[in-house]
Amino acid sequence: MKTSKPWTWVPSLYFAEGLPYIAVTVLAIEIYMQLGLTDAEVTFYTSWLYLPWVIKPFWSPFLDLYKTKRWWITAMQLLLGAAFAGVAFTIQASWWLQGSICFFWMMAFSSATHDVAADGFYMMGLNQHDQAFFVGIRSTFYRLSMIVGKGVLIMIAGVLQVMFRYQIKFSWSLIFYGLTGLFMAFYLYHNYILPRPKEDIDHKEKRQAKAILYEFLMTFDTFFKKKQRFAAIAFMLFFRLPEALLNPVSQLFLQARPGKGGLGLSPQEFGLVNGTVGVVGLLAGGVIGGLLASRDGLKRWLWPMTCAITIPNIAYVYLAYAMPENLMTINACVFFENFGYGFGFSAYMLFMIYFSQGQHKTSHYALCTGFMALSMMLPGLFAGALAQVVGYRMFFIIVMLSCLLPFAVASFLDIDPHFGKKDVEEDV
């Protein structure tokens, strides 16, 4: 096998994994908002882009039938580069909406497939010790891509729009051509540097489609025979309901004109507030939540985490009514909400691991991630339309009322008190 030090490919691989996801879920909203689509249209079109992550568990087993995980990684990076180029080209055409949506769909499916291949390759390309060591490194670089995508790129787009006298389409075209070049570089680099593990064999030596299909059906069958399956599915679908409603609309609210009820932030200001301060809050909340859960167990922190993922949403009620002009105040509110979400989301992730325990745990966890994506997709489809009808102020009040549902679904869970606690042996 080709030997490459993990430091040469793990950081770049997971940075490349995060950027397309941010482009699909954040930059697409930003572009369509700036180009004049209504809130209802923006959230409806962009929420459908979650679909590849929803159905990812259904096609991911069949990737083993053709080529290797390494091949899928480099092929998807090449395809992602083409998708970025497609958006850059079509965004300036008269049919910009149809063309860009087509390539955003291409980007979403390629990104979801890249996720599957990268995570599988990570397990093959590293030994058990290195897997444990680099799990934090891969998370760090994935989150770094969030800061670059949600913060830096939007800020650069804002600067370009000022430089080119608010030629919005041209500015975003330059951004996406830049991303095209970056992913061409990722393709060339990873095609050279990625190791060739013995386990990552060609499809000819692997199982047939019939065997994989049978195993998938058995996995599906055992998933829906698990204890508290209905409570678990309800939890996975509704625990994040307030955030699923808030997430797309908050981006629109922060940048909407004051006459429309928004705060009127410029792209540069929004990139700082949401893409930098907000992401830092999200990461800090996630780290602290993970540490506390590992110390005391998931059950001990379930209710505090449920409070954390819901109550901080009141920050947007304050912003909508107070309409502060001070950027520090806005930063503090966004940080508070994101910190709470990051802290509370730890319970969601840990429960998916808990529910996936037993036979077929990897496949069951993949199905859980499908429900996770669905939980963001469905509310997002109508969130913008609701905000458009009732206004931002009433919308955020409705978000607060929806916070009752996470408490309801969490109350039905039966969790082992010891799950999540770090073993004494691990501390030694």
pLDDT at 205 over 70: no
Query: For the chain, what are the domain ranges?
Result: 1-193, 215-428
Name the token pair of 30: 């930003």
- Give the integer Cα–Cα distance in Å for 312 and 278: 13
For a pLDDT cut of 90, what percent of the chain falls above it? 66
How much of the chain is helix, strand and coil, in % rounded to 5? Answer: 80, 0, 20
| Residue 153: closest CA among 264, 271, 46, 249 | 271
Separation between Cα atoms, residue 256 and residue 60, nearest integer Å? 39
Neighbour-count burial of 114, counting CB atoms closer than 10 A to its CB (0-12 exposed, 13-18 middle, 19+ buried):
buried
Same fold, 1-193 and 215-428: yes
Whether residue 203 has pLDDT greater than 60: no
Amino acid 264: pLDDT: 93
pLDDT reported for residue 223? 86
pLDDT of residue 208: 65
Q: First vs last Cα of the chain: how many Å apart?
A: 35
**How high is the mean pLDDT of the chain?**
89
pLDDT digits (tens, 9 = 90+) for 396-422: 999 999 999 999 999 999 888 888 766
| Helices and strands (DSSP H and E) totals, the chain | 21, 0
pLDDT of residue 60: 78
Cβ(384)–Cβ(249) below 8 Å: yes
Torsion angle, alpha carbons of 164, 170, 175, 181, to 10? -120
Number of neighbouring beta carbons within 10 Å of residue 346: 25
Q: Cβ(272)–Cβ(155) under 8 Å?
A: yes
**Cα distances (Å, whole numbers) of residue 351 to 120, 207, 232, 413:** 22, 32, 8, 9
Q: What pLDDT was estimated at residue 424? A: 37
C-alpha to C-alpha distance for 330 and 344, rounded to whole angstroms: 21
Q: Which of 58-67, 221-230, 332-341 has the lowest mean pLDDT?
A: 58-67
Please give the helix or strand (H or E) that residue 356 lies within, else none.
none
pTM: predicted TM-score of the whole model, two decimal places: 0.88
- Residue identified by tokens 């909203």 is 29
Mean pLDDT of 364-373: 89
Token look-up 């090449």 returns 78
Residue 2 has pLDDT above 70, yes or no: no
Report pLDDT for 242.
Answer: 95
Residue 258: CA count within 13 A, CB half-sphere: 6
Of 358, 353, 343, 351, nearest to 415 (Cα)? 351
- Considering the four listed CATH numbers 1.20.1730.10, 1.10.3720.10, 3.40.50.1980, 1.20.1250.20, the one that applies to the domain covering 1-193 is 1.20.1250.20
Superfamily of domain 215-428: MFS general substrate transporter like domains (1.20.1250.20)
